[in-house]
Structure formats: structure tokens, C-alpha cells
Amino acid sequence: MAEPQSFVHPVPPLYDENSKTLILGSFPSAKSREARFFYGHPQNRFWKLLARLFNEEVPQSIEQKKQIILNHNLALWDVIHSCTVTGSSDSSIRDVVPNDISVILQNSKVDRIFVNGTTPFNLYKKYIFPKTGIEAVKLPSTSPANAAFSLDRLVECWQELIR
């Protein structure tokens, strides 16, 4: 069994001055840490989901993934700056140091925050909401661990993102 390890988030926030909606995850999976970009595990449905929502091709390269985020006035980051985690399991996350999302809020038009799953939602409420006062909307996780949700069902739930 894997041992818990301490990590610092390896990926900077993705946003620009036109970003209006922030999507927060928890912390990069082992595959995402390896790829040095968000949602790097091939089984995670995040990029397929965005492609369906925006009626675009599924982005393959990091550059294409950045473009789908920025072209739709989105911002992307995670709740956690550093933590101890075993593998990629959100349920194993300990010793959380939250990210400071004020850098995004001060340098963009972000006024809506969505979180990708229950763990980041709970961590957001605990660590970040008291500082920002911005309520976050919890969306079902795109993780392969959330097998109860098909891609079609995720698309249905995530429609709120594009309203």
C-alpha cells in the first residue's frame, strides 16, 4: 500500500482578466502532478465534460486545455496549496494548507465559484469561504471514483456552469 506523502501544488492557477467563473478541484491526482496540469488522469471526465458543454472537440494538449478554459471565461485551480495525501485519494487528504484565491479574484472578473465534488466543496467552506464570503456551488465530481455519474448525467448537472 502507498505511503502518505506531502506535496505542494505543482500547477499555477489558470485564469485571465476576462475569467468570470472559477472551477475549483481539491488537489492534483498523482497523474496530474506528473503531467503538471489539471485533470491529467485519462479516466477523469473533466475535459470530455467541458467539450460537451461547449460543443467542442475534447482538448488533448495542455495548450488546447488552457484555451477551452480561457475562451469560455473560466478560471481553474484547486482549493489546496499543500497537503499530505496517499496516492490520489481525496479521502486520504490531511494537513491541508489552502490556496489563496484572492490573486484570481483581484485580477479577473470572477464572481461565481463552482467546485468539482464534495471534498473540495467541504474544504472550500472550511478554509476559503470565510475569507471570500462567496458561496460556492457544489457539482458532482468528474473523477473516475464517482462511477455513479455517467458522462451524460455529469453534463446535465454541470449545465449550471454555462447559464
Q: What is the pLDDT of residue 2?
A: 78
Collapsing DSSP to helix, strand or coil, 82 comes out as strand
Among 68, 74, 120, residue whose Cα is nearest residue 99:
120
pTM given for the model: 0.96
Task: Report which of 16, 17, 39, 35 is spatially closest to residue 27, judged by C-alpha positions.
Answer: 39
5-162, which class in CATH?
alpha beta
Give the residue ranges of DSSP H helices in 2-150: 30-35, 46-53, 62-71, 102-106, 118-123, 129-132
Domain definitions of the chain by residue range: 5-162
Q: What is the pLDDT of residue 1?
A: 65
- Taking the C-alpha atoms of residue 3 and residue 38, their distance in angstroms, rounded to an integer, is 23
126-153 per-position pLDDT tens digit: 999 999 999 999 999 999 889 999 999 9
**Spans of the chain below 70 pLDDT:** 1
Query: Which of 2, 27, 142 is closest to 96 using CA atoms?
Result: 27
Q: Which residues are catalytic?
A: 44
